[in-house]
Structure 1
Amino acid sequence: MNDFPEILGVYSLQVEAEVGTGTTANARETITYWYARHLADNIFEIQPLNAHHVPSGIRSTLNEMDFLKQYTPEPSYYRLHTVPAMETLIRKIDMGQKAFSEGKLDEAEAQFIKALMIDDKNIEANYGLGEVYSERKEFDKLKKVLNTLLGLDEAFKQEHRQKFNHFGISLRKNGHYDESIRYYEKSLEIEKSDENVYFNLARVFFEKGQNDMCIQRLEDALKINPAFVEAQKFLKYCQKHA
Structure 2
Amino acid sequence: MGELNQVLGVYSKNTTDHTGTGATLQKAEHKTYYYITRSGIDEYHVQPLNDQNIPSGIITSLTKKQFIISFTPERDYYERKTLPALKSLKAKIDRGEEDFTNGEMDKAEQAFAKALLLDPENSKANLGMGSVQCTKKNFDKLSTIVKKLLNNDEVFIEEQRQEFNMFAISLRKQALFEDAITFYSKALEINAKDEHLHFNIARAYFDSGNYDKALNHIDEALQIQPDLEWAIKFKKYITKQAAK
Tell me the TM-score normalised to structure 1 length.
0.49
Higher helix proportion (structure 1 or 2):
1
